[in-house]
Amino acid sequence: MKRISGNNNRQRGFTLLEVMIALLIFGVGLLTVAALQTVSKRANYEALQRTTASFLALDMLERMRVNKGRLNRYIQGNMELGGGQRGVPGTLCTSLADACDGIDIANADLYEWEQRLDGVAEDQGGNATGGLLSPTACLDGPGGGGTGLYTVAIAWRGVTELTDPTADDCGDDTGLYGADNEFRRILVISAFIDAT
């Protein structure tokens, strides 16, 4: 008995249309991975900037704790740091031979801290690259530098637009963070320091 089949020639392989659809799906997948990579790099950069700001704020609070007899020198008026505003002090207090008093130490601390804020520790082609992007730092505390709550606020320029944070007005009027401060990021850390 003979079998009758409708189609003896089975199709083998892929048609051109199937190959094109597979390539389209693969291409969309690759574009999605590339976009995800870009978003990931941006988020990592923002996290690095926030970590740097946190480290710097805690560093300044510790400097103030060590030189608690001259806390008033750290919070003079509405001083904003960043962008190389402070000149080199008379002495940097790098050795015991400098014979620095509390005022000299405060001036050296503020200068060195601003240098770190601006990123002079890392240099690439003559440009400081180790700090924050367009930083502004503000120090505040009790008048006269007595015992109390001291605040370090650090603002820097972010990569993407957000609504302006209202946590603190540090850097608000500098013009570094867009017309409506949409690129301003800010970190505010407060600590109690006993001046006695």
Confidence of residue 7 (pLDDT cuts 50, 70, 90): low
Is 90 exceeded by the pLDDT of residue 105?
A: yes
The alpha carbon dihedral of 86, 88, 93, 98 has a sign of negative
> Mean pLDDT across the chain, nearest whole number?
88
Q: Which residues does residue 151 pair with via DSSP β-bridges, in sequence order?
A: 140, 190
* pLDDT beyond 70 at 19: yes
- For residues 41 and 74, the answer to whether their CB atoms sit within 8 Å is no
pLDDT tens digits for range 151-177 = 999 999 998 898 877 778 898 888 899
pTM score of the predicted model: 0.80
Residue 5: the pLDDT is 57
For 48-121, list the strands marked E by DSSP. 80-81
Say how far apart CA 132 and CA 83 lie, in whole Å.
10
Burial-class residue 69 by CB neighbours within 10 Å (0-12, 13-18, 19+). middle
Residue-level length of the chain: 196
